[in-house]
Amino acid sequence: MLQPVIMAGGSGSRLWPLSRQLNPKQFLALADQQLTMLQATIKRLDGLDCAQPLLICNEQHRFLAAAQLDQLGMDDTRIILEPCGRNTAPAIALAAIKLHTIGQDPLLLVLPADHKIADTAAFQASLRQAIPLAEAGKLVTFGIVPTAAETGYGYIQQGEPAGDGAFSVSRFVEKPDAAAADDYLRSGQYLWNSGMFLFRASRYLEELADHRPDILTACRQAALDNTYDLLFTRVHAEAFAACPSESIDYAVMEHTADAVVVSLDAGWSDIGSWSALWDISDKDAHGNATQGDTLAHDSRNTLIRAEHRLVATLGVDDLIIVETKDAVLVAHKDRVQEVKALVEQLKSTGRQEHISHREVYRPWGVYDSIDHGYRYQVKHITVKPGAKLSLQMHHHRAEHWIVVCGTAKVTNGDKTYLVTENQSSYIPVGQVHTLENPGVIDLQLIEVQSGSYLGEDDIVRFEDRYGRVEKVTGDTRAVTPLK
């Protein structure tokens, strides 16, 4: 039986403004309007003899990941939380160590959560081809059959035949220039490096011990102090932060004598840029790939993505146009690799549009910051049935809640009462309060905040069913707020 390990870290900054720090591309529906990339990665395993996937993601994405798993009916899937990013070698080590701790030594199928694969049958056929090799102790990587002289991918040079249609790995090559990429394509010896792997957990740990014992030691130290919260496994933050940041390619695959590569020809893309998304999208007769409320007149070879309003084009060619509630990107297709520079500029100027959308997901639902100004902010809040916000207070703001759909159970100081549609409740500054949806439909309300400071860090939590209250020392009102 395979043990899928889904790697759901990363920021996807080249797909801004849709991909944000708090909602990166693996959690977005990009190539499939019904499933996010994470969900599509998991659904791709249907029909294989697999255990429940083990997900590895960043601490700040934990509730977003859990919600998407819940949508697939997988609300008992375990999630390992990385307190900080340390690349793929340590992340995979955490999964292998966790399984060894409970006496398991399965074949680990390591899959990034942000890849598009059009042909699921071909993907699964390559996996079945690789299983005997992994069972024999090989460390299998999957190489994508190249379709162009691509300079944006790393390459794997095939060596001698290794049986079962696989080849030994002669070498890994970094992203080449155009001339080298053309040579690789014409030689027929090179495959794109997909970042997908299959090997037994113990074999990976053995190779890591041989080639990067510092990484293995740090990960074992981090795993000694696991804590469990709902579906989440947290490792020791300081120990993991001390771990070197390294990819599995550099740490293990380039050094082991047992690396083999199995080719994969299944319509693969890592959707690493807006032009890559245009490449794999359905297009009209003029080469335009559109989604949402769009109108394209005398426009060609353009990607137009409208999230919230009509986007119309006239007389344009080879553009990327992406509209969200709070930002619009217009770029030439030849320059999309530079979108990351725009994100860096947003960071350097102290803006927030690279961090989150107007809509922010929480374990209890979502809120949309629909308006703000001097000393006020207005949010549209949706609370899922049965969900409850933390028991909290604010030092600097008051809140006024107006229910527009459903029923709210409000705790306001020492009083608890119901607020129904078209009714409201006022929460003074410093008042301990909470909000719950006791009904079976979504609770929707408008929240008007007013005060001298309206930041999200002005939250002191006393109780929270989602584990967002830290340990308290001294006065309980000195709790450190969590994101």
**Residue 241's CATH number:** 3.90.550.10
Query: What's the confidence (pLDDT) of residue 470?
Result: 53
pLDDT (0 to 100) of residue 12: 80
Distance separating alpha carbons of residues 354 and 340, to the nearest angstrom: 10
Q: For 226-274, what is each residue's pLDDT tens digit?
A: 888 778 999 999 999 999 999 999 999 999 999 999 999 999 999 999 9
The order of strands in the sheet holding 319-323 is 289-291, 303-306, 319-323, 328-332
Within 10 A of 403 (CB to CB), how many other CB atoms are there? Answer: 22
Burial 178-210 (b: 16+ CB within 10 A, else e): eebbeebbeeeebbbbbbbbbbbbbbbbbbbee
Residues 30 and 177 in one domain: yes
Regarding whether 219 and 292 lie in a shared domain, the answer is no
User: How far is 289 from 278, CA to CA, in rounded Å?
Assistant: 6
Q: Are residues 220 and 363 in the same domain?
A: no
Question: Taking Cα atoms as reference points, which of 198, 49, 218 lies closest to residue 110?
Answer: 198
Separation between Cα atoms, residue 54 and residue 96, nearest integer Å: 10
Residue 435 within a domain: yes
Query: What is the rounded average pLDDT of the residues 159-169?
Result: 92
Distances, alpha carbon 161 to alpha carbons 146, 229, 259, in Å: 19, 47, 12
Q: Are residues 312 and 388 in the same domain?
A: no
CB–CB of 151/133 below 8 Å? Answer: no
Q: What is the mean pLDDT of residues 189-195?
A: 96
**Does 246 share its domain with 186?**
yes
Query: Is 351 a member of any domain?
Result: no
**CATH code, 405:** 2.60.120.10
Please, is 408 exposed, middle or buried when counting C-beta atoms within 10 Å of its C-beta (0-12, 13-18, 19+)? buried
pLDDT digits (tens, 9 = 90+) for 49-99: 999 999 999 998 998 999 899 999 998 889 999 999 999 999 999 999 999
The pLDDT-based confidence of 33 (bands split at 50, 70, 90) is: confident
pLDDT at residue 473, as a whole number: 35
Does residue 243 sit in the same domain as residue 114? yes
Domain limits at 393? 359-478
Q: Are residues 328 and 189 in the same domain?
A: no
Q: Which residue has the tokens 């989602």?
A: 466
Q: What is the pLDDT of residues 323-368, one digit of tens each?
A: 999 999 999 999 998 999 999 999 999 998 999 888 888 889 999 9
Residue 190 above 90 pLDDT? yes
pLDDT for 158 equals 96
329 belongs to a structural domain: yes
Q: Are residues 251 and 365 in the same domain?
A: no
> Do residues 335 and 410 both lie within one domain?
no
Q: Which residues contact 438 (CB under 8 A, 6 or more apart)?
A: 386, 407, 409, 418
% of the chain with per-residue pLDDT over 70:
97
Number of domains forming the structure of the chain: 3
* Cα→Cα distances 431→219, 284, 476, 478, 482, Å: 43, 56, 14, 15, 19
Asked whether residue 66 is assigned to any structural domain, the reply reads yes
Mark which of 249, 269, 289 sits at the end of a domain: 269
Q: How far apart are the first and last CA of the chain?
A: 38
Q: Which of 210, 223, 289, 287 is nearest to 251 (CA)?
A: 210
3-state SS string over 424-439? EEEECCCCCEEEECCC
Of 216 and 227, the structure prediction assigns the larger pLDDT to 216
Check whether 481 has a pLDDT greater than 60: no
68: how many CB neighbours lie within 10 A of its CB? 23
Phi, psi of 199 (to 5 degrees): -165, 160
For the chain, give the percent of residues with pLDDT over 90: 86
Residues 290 and 419 placed together within one structural domain of the fold: no
Boundary-marking domain end, from 223, 253, 269: 269
Same domain, 279 and 240: no
- Residues in a beta bridge with 303: 289, 320
Could you say which DSSP state residue 75 is in? T
Convert the pLDDT of each residue in 370-405 to its tens digit.
999 999 999 999 999 999 999 999 999 999 999 999
Which residues have CB under 8 Å from 434's CB, separation 6+?
Answer: 388, 389, 390, 391, 392, 410, 411, 463
262 and 295 belong to one structural domain: no
Note whether residue 354 is domain-resident.
no
CA distance 266 to 268: 6
